Chain A
């Protein structure tokens, strides 16, 4: 059955078109002057330079503040001696619904540390940023709290983040690891 379309009947005032044009112009002119006189500056600090302060942010210079639990690029946390905190338990790669974490475990020289990841690669093209890896990690080794966007890639291999790249943003963790951890 055909759908009936109701077109609203316009009053004579509206059909004469001119008053409605004036109304619309009033709206746009108000917006124009609000921008021109800088009434909706969001970023007061740069307002004088970007002098068209508006709802839009001037992105590379002005960045939006993300919420604390925003899931950004991964990083690997460090032990006190700068080694990787990860013990290659495979919890994260098991939890990962996108199968994007690839770990090759190896035996550590230090007998108190059983294993370490000889290779730790995250495929950022596959990652769905669900944060399950962070929740699965038993020793606070992987985090997504860098606040950094995943950058655009020119080639596929740039999307494979290796261990060194992930550790470059790493820090000490407040959590105690194996009874020998770091307590700040």
Chain B
């Protein structure tokens, strides 16, 4: 019992501090850097661990390409004065940042970072599903809830309390307007969010996130992985849009619309309290990426990779993969020839290696089966969900720096008049199509 509690505690520490908090902190720099690159700027690179060194001592500076700004921002946030408005509510004003951050962190509990650990890798693959012959334990998610999806909806909607309280406790017209706007927006977008994901529940027949991911290992028509994005493309669009709105970031950032209501519910916050609010927004972005990758991009599934290795349904898939990776290698090599940069060089080498690996696999394994040790499979799968999450975070930042802010009435119109009808239609069509499968 004690051991189990300790293990859970360890998992919480790893996921919370190693995963969510670190990702949120890194996001502060990543967002500034990425926006800079999009706008042909250089971005933050001035903070220097070795102090203020300039000119010929270029090499003696220690900046990690801007990552040092992470420490600089943190130190600044901690040491700034904490101001509570004179006629605001001291207690609620202090409580609100915690109420904003708490649900976002708790949400990470149900994300499955890998399948159940099968003791000793003693498993066989039947009909493209892993079947564990010995004892399987939940080792890679903090809490394996059978109602994981409901848990996400329940906890995610708690976030609005923190924002609304922050707006009210600040005793400022801007803040209360921001709080009201965000309440209305989050309540509106919860409806299409839940409706759109019901199609996924119908198809995979579970509310458990790990079961949903396991089911996405099936193959459609014997070739395509049965990921949510292929089965429910409309639901993916609606769900992703609704989740974006829940994070309260551009283009849905009217709650903090700088041009008209200062910074909305954040107006009266300073120092670490402001930092916590801003940070939980970033962590929310990471969470959205994680949950969308679990529901729609197969979570920890690597295409055609199962518990004991790669199972290619048809051998010519090797050819397709080799061609794709060699093409990617050529593309990055061209970029390297032009820029002599280290990133394209590394990417090119990686893609080439990937291609060579699969050429070897195709030569030696004629049956379309490539055996891999269980440990390697586990590492590949954890890498897969982290990679998918990273790509989706990148994509969200791309959207945030591409689209201008919606007007408030446009947000409401999009939510109630477009997303909800589309989600309902999608649900009805999905249900009708699925009738024969439920017999």
Residues of A within 8 A of B (CB): 18, 21, 24-25, 27-29, 31-32, 35-41, 46-56, 58, 60-61
Contacts and interface: CB of A to CB of B under 8 A. Distances in A.
A54 B41 contact: yes
B40 A56 contact: yes
Interface residues of B, number: 32
Interface string B22-47: 00000000000110111111110100
B403 A54 contact: no
Contacts of A51: 65, 341-343
B403 A38 contact: no
Interface of B: 33-34, 36-43, 45, 54-55, 58-59, 65, 237, 332, 335-336, 338-344, 398-399, 401-403
Q: Binding site of B, secondary structure by majority: helix, strand, loop or mixed? A: helix
A52 B340 contact: no
Given A37-B335, A52-B45, A32 B341 contact: no
A25 B40 contact: no
B253 to A, nearest CB: 16
Given A32-B38, A38-B338, A46-B58, 18 more contacts: A18-B237, A21-B399, A25-B399, A25-B402, A28-B401, A31-B37, A31-B39, A32-B34, A35-B36, A35-B37, A38-B341, A47-B341, A52-B43, A53-B339, A54-B37, A54-B42, A56-B41, A60-B54
A58 B42 contact: yes
Given A25-B402, A52-B42, A37 B37 contact: no
A41 B339 contact: yes
A161 to B, nearest CB: 23
Nearest to A55: B40
Contact of A37 (B237, B339, B402): B339
24 contacts: A27-B402, A28-B38, A31-B38, A31-B40, A32-B34, A32-B38, A35-B36, A35-B37, A35-B38, A35-B40, A36-B343, A37-B338, A37-B344, A38-B339, A38-B340, A38-B341, A38-B343, A39-B339, A47-B341, A48-B342, A53-B339, A54-B37, A55-B41, A56-B42
A36 B35 CA distance: 12
